[in-house]
A and B are shown apart, each in its own frame.
Chain A
């Protein structure tokens, strides 16, 4: 009865999964397991986190492997102050504010975009920045702002949209730029004194744009294995095996598991568009991680006419994360999501306090929604017994 979907089901084959899990298990004897501490592997990207939970991968892995779910969910790490800026822009009577749907629920200090919409702001969900540009063309008497969000993966499409707006003279279109960069953020995690991570799964979609080279410092300078990873469950299992194989061989290098999508040099035309439109900010604020140098981009000054931060006055206030929030420690693998004091109590997907509970790609929301807590606690006990 079940129809097979080409290019998807091949990467979800349970028989293949079983053999990969066996191969992963066989590496145990070749690895120098430290004081019984489980090996900690971080998947940086929220897309990976989502796959891990959606397919129930974690319980299939041996107890001596622990997955740390990184900060690679742009919706999660958006600081409250930026959400407040979005609301302020959206509440202007002359503005149609456009956004991807998953940013609607992120709490600001006063309200989320969803609440602002209910209060009368003209906020519309779009699937692509080009939809926002089209909206601008069709509403010449309104100002259409696109809320640009995401890592390098989504930068080329927003950059090309700005270039298109410029060449077509669509002057009522602008960008509220909140793009963030991957490498400085991984570096900040690696520089953190309580960092314990043994290896990384690199974000495949980011690598599709930037290529392999930007990740080389992780292997060369920090001596951690890293594998560019795809988003299907077999991709994840194969990459875990590849990271462990590097550890077993005492190699540290950038390997590419996602060769079917990611060329070594990335996407040069996409990178050209990015460098044409954007430049690094001195620093950018992250929910849960604080301020990180060079971790965001802004529009270059020749695009001021399309930059919502220049075109309109934006409050740009810094709002501190709630004190009880332990997102930063979860992100670095120091504690597990359910060990946070407010997990599942003051902080739930319905009323998230911290970054990681905000979107389904956040580690805490994933545990809350998909996780079998009693099983997770039993697993933690087994891991502690190893120590």
Chain B
């Protein structure tokens, strides 16, 4: 048992399930926080249990000249699915949101809303998964909050993470910078996460298991920016899929984007599910995929950098930026036709992240 900052032995949580007492501010809550969270996340910023984490500004400034901050809430159902869980998602999602802005992710907060009756061992598994992802990303969970709500007031567990990072001088990734001639790159297969969640809900009894693509993108992005610091636009394609991200770029930059359907990497099992359910992989959620718009002359070197990285082994050129039709994304179908790819109307699948 590691000691707390005051040198006392850390408190232990012996309960099997979370009760309202664990959110009450009393001893039970102290047991939960010290044992599960402080013990689980295990870092010097969290251990003092002050009401806030504190950082030296001068240390931050060594990484760059701008702070970046982002927040995301995670409500995925089910909590555990092939290739990941809500904890891994809560770290990678927020780190990736910083990374696609060129920021080096440093610190994360973690707020949990837990439904009473939730099993403590599941909570420990989730925190351990968060810790693994945080270590891999090189970030620390430095502050947090815990609320327990009555049965039915929330479904099992919701997590919010907020991330702070620093953007190095000279890196300017902005969605309005797309230029005609830019090349559209993706780092791998489309739609795995959305398909994995549908599969994990077990409503379809599919033959094969589809794994989420949930993965960190920060190191891949850092390598891509080393190859080409002048990448114009970058976003991770989560909810709404790559169709949504490309539409955002097309609208913000007032350009057209042509996608080549036959170049789009989609796994056979994901395509199969889409064919059966009438879903479109372009709109399916991803949790480890980025779209980058790269000046033409850098497209090949950036692609090679991506292919050489474990998070980009299936990277591909999937399209190009044109001057017209401005604000529109057009898919050149593998069949030889063309169609407009619009923003999604309504919800394709609820609670996927």
Taking beta carbons and an 8 Å cutoff, which residues of A are in contact with B? 1-3, 5, 8, 12, 14, 17-18, 50, 53-60, 105, 114, 127, 131, 233, 349-350, 369-372, 374
A58 to B340, CA, bound (A): 13
- Chain B residues with a Cβ closer than 8 Å to the other chain, count: 29
Chain A residues with CB below 8 A from B271, complex form:
3, 5, 8
Cross-chain contact A59 with B337 (CB below 8 angstroms): yes
Cross-chain contact A1 with B339 (CB below 8 angstroms): no
Cross-chain contact A59 with B338 (CB below 8 angstroms): yes
Chain B residues with CB below 8 A from A60, complex form:
336-337
Select A370's contact among B265, B325, B340, B345, beta carbons within 8 Å. B340
B138 contacts A by Cβ under 8 Å: no
A114 to B345, CA, bound (A): 13
B135 contacts A by Cβ under 8 Å: no
Cross-chain contact B339 with A127 (CB below 8 angstroms): no
What are the 10 A-B residue pairs with the smallest beta carbon separation, nearest first?
A56-B337, A370-B339, A3-B268, A55-B335, A349-B345, A14-B336, A56-B339, A56-B338, A56-B333, A55-B333
Cross-chain contact A5 with B336 (CB below 8 angstroms): no
Taking CB as reference atom, which chain B residue is nearest A21?
Answer: B336
Cross-chain contact A54 with B339 (CB below 8 angstroms): yes
A59 to B331, CA, bound (A): 13
Select B342's contact among A2, A5, A50, A369, beta carbons within 8 Å. A369
B346 contacts A by Cβ under 8 Å: yes
Select A3's contact among B267, B278, B333, beta carbons within 8 Å. B267
Contact residues, B260-276 vs A (CB, 8 A): 262, 265-268, 271-272, 275
Nearest-neighbour CB distance to chain B for A356, whole angstroms, equals: 15
Cross-chain contact A17 with B336 (CB below 8 angstroms): yes
- Dominant secondary structure of chain B at its interface with chain A: loop
Taking beta carbons and an 8 Å cutoff, which residues of B are in contact with A? 203-204, 262, 265-268, 271-272, 275, 277-278, 314, 316, 325, 328, 330-331, 333-340, 342, 345-346
Cross-chain contact A2 with B265 (CB below 8 angstroms): yes
Asked, given contacts A105-B346, A370-B339, A372-B325, whether A12 binds B272 with beta carbons under 8 Å apart, the answer is no
Chain B residues with CB below 8 A from A14, complex form:
334-336
Chain A residues with CB below 8 A from B334, complex form:
12, 14
Taking CB as reference atom, which chain A residue is nearest B314?
Answer: A1
Besides A5-B271, A54-B333, 6 other A-B contacts (C-beta < 8 A): A14-B335, A14-B336, A18-B336, A56-B335, A58-B337, A372-B328
Nearest-neighbour CB distance to chain B for A237, whole angstroms, equals: 9
A105 to B348, CA, bound (A): 12
Give 25 A-B contacts (CB < 8 Å), ordered by A residue: A2-B266, A5-B271, A5-B272, A5-B275, A14-B334, A14-B335, A14-B336, A18-B336, A50-B278, A53-B339, A55-B333, A56-B335, A56-B337, A57-B337, A59-B338, A105-B346, A127-B204, A127-B277, A369-B340, A369-B342, A370-B339, A370-B340, A371-B340, A372-B330, A372-B339
